Amino acid sequence: MTDMNAWNQSIIDEFRSNAGVVGGPFEGAQVTLIHHTGAKTGTVRVNPLCCTVDNGDVVIIASKGGAPTDPHWYLNLKANPTCTVELGTETFEATAVEAEGADRDALYAAQAAVLPQFNDYVVGAGDRVIPVLRLKRK
């Protein structure tokens, strides 16, 4: 298990032990767990992500901490948009739909208002437009 896998697992464990509430760098932020299917492997993986909620949709951002490349979970959701979402104590099936244009910009700004580091991620991402996804309940 890599250090990132171990770090993610510790967040997942804390999330599940505390009805979806986590501390540390995510204290005060809403966090969700996204179960997604690997585009190449077909393996189901779980990633903890900061999120917002907009009109009933869970909104996640593929920032990868401002890296110039997209995170693997985003590529997996593009290939296999059906996913399972854990939000607080609720678990439900959803379909990932990429937000575009003004909708994408407004959703990104809403998350950056809660977590200002998302403003810095835009700089680090360079020419990459950071994707924003709506997870629509099935």
pLDDT at 87 over 90: yes
Domain ranges of the chain: 3-137
- Amino acid identity of residue 81, one-letter, is P
Mean pLDDT for 49-75 is 96
124 pLDDT tier (thresholds 50, 70, 90) = confident
User: Could you tell me the pTM of the whole model?
Assistant: 0.94
What is the three-class DSSP state of 13? helix
135: which strand partners? 58, 96
CATH of segment(s) 3-137: 2.30.110.10
Cα–Cα–Cα angle for 61, 65, 71, nearest 5°? 60
11 pLDDT tier (thresholds 50, 70, 90) = very high
By the 10 Å C-beta count (0-12 exposed, 13-18 middle, 19+ buried), 136 is classed as middle
